[in-house]
Amino acid sequence: MSPSPIRRPAPAFDVFNVYFERIYDPTMHIVFTFDGEIDVGIMKEATKRLIASDPYLRSRFAAVDGQPVWEEVPEEQWEGAFVLFPAGEVEILPPPPLDVRSGPQVRVNLCRRGEGDLLAVTCHHGFCDASGAMTLARDLFSVYRGIMEDPDFRPIRRDPYDRSTDRILALYSDEERQRALAEEAPFVDRWRFPVERTGRGTPRIVCRTLPPERLGLAKAFGKRHGATVNDVLIGAFFLAFAKIRGDPSDRGAPRSILTSADLRRKHPGLHAEGLPMNLSIAYEVTLSAGEGARLEDVIGQVAAITARRKAGSLGLAAILFYEEILAGGMPAVRTFFDDMIERYRTSGLKNPVFSNLGVFDPGNYLPVPGKDGTELGLLDVRYLPCACWPYGFLTIASTFRDRLTITTAYEEGPYSTAVVERFLEYVDGYLP
């Protein structure tokens, strides 16, 4: 009789990010472009040893006796965690989705190209957020380097770690928690991206990369208006969304977007271990703009909202909200998502989401030796977000070597590629 698998409780943030599969594909990818060839055998071994080192990475998500858990899977089920696309094969982006319920929680996709390798680190939002995915990529290259230097190298095996938000909750008194819940207004869906039809389609990625001088202009614009670059991006995203809709009812009316915040930045040092997990929350930004509005007409509204959020108990209400639902068991979680989907279906409305992932530091990943031992050049780092279908719509921004890239992932068919591309042109046009 085989022993029972090792199981550990899955916290609320993990559970909800798994079940957001009801409105988008929670698979995420970080794509690295090099100017030469990675050692395939060593990268495959690095993937295996990285998985072996983390008890959650080598697990699958499951519900056992009504309780959400991370359940370790045997090593023979790790097949597929490393995939090689030989030279000459069609390069496909985004890579295929990752199944959070089969494990392990990472897949490394290596695409061999004549001009240099492309490597995509794939994970699922149920396992970690964007910051966690970047941590995972950093750890992968660290293990790869270690094996290049010493074939017997193995990363330190992690003990089971706290994946919950308990340490954040512990910072607040009961009175502060109740006040945060009372002050948090529920999200109200007021508009949506133009769709061709509902249903599913073909995953697509569209991105737009701006030259370094544009980032400098955005910083200068923000400084003049008491705003951050993130505020500038939110304002441009909002105005582009109104323009792509072209709906007169939007003019001067309150319209909302969701944006994200990484609680690691709000509470530096609280999760200093740099572990791959979910510690990001969404909050609502509601603005109004008249016909012909420019960025300077809305930037003050954006800056005031984000500053107020950062100064307050950012994320506390979201944590308490998720914890309260999960306390009712998995039926309560499924009911929550059933109700959400029904609201979207009947209203046809779903506020868009914008997330700025910040600056990708090449020092987090380099050096990366090539197959002959010489150091490879890192030409680009790009993040491919979760692919949405109606009525969800998500755009992200990231910066690598002063080049700002705006990206959206969507399903063609329900969404028109031409319309999505025009939308990113509008975002570009509103930026300084």
Q: Is the pTM of this model over 0.85?
A: yes
For the chain, what is the total number of helices (H) and then of strands (E)? 12, 16
pLDDT value, residue 368: 97
CA distance 244 to 252: 16
pLDDT value, residue 185: 85
pLDDT value, residue 188: 93
Say if CB 285 and CB 305 are below 8 A apart: yes
Q: Which SS3 state, helix, strand or coil, does residue 103 take?
A: coil
Cross-sheet strand order for the sheet of 67-72:
7-9, 67-72, 59-64
pLDDT value, residue 89: 64
pLDDT value, residue 94: 84
pLDDT value, residue 370: 95
pLDDT value, residue 375: 95
Which residue positions in the chain have pLDDT lower than 50? none
Q: Can you list the positions of beta strands (E) in 248-377? A: 255-262, 280-287, 353-360
pLDDT value, residue 388: 96
CB-based burial of residue 111 (10 Å sphere; 0-12 exposed, 13-18 middle, 19+ buried)? buried
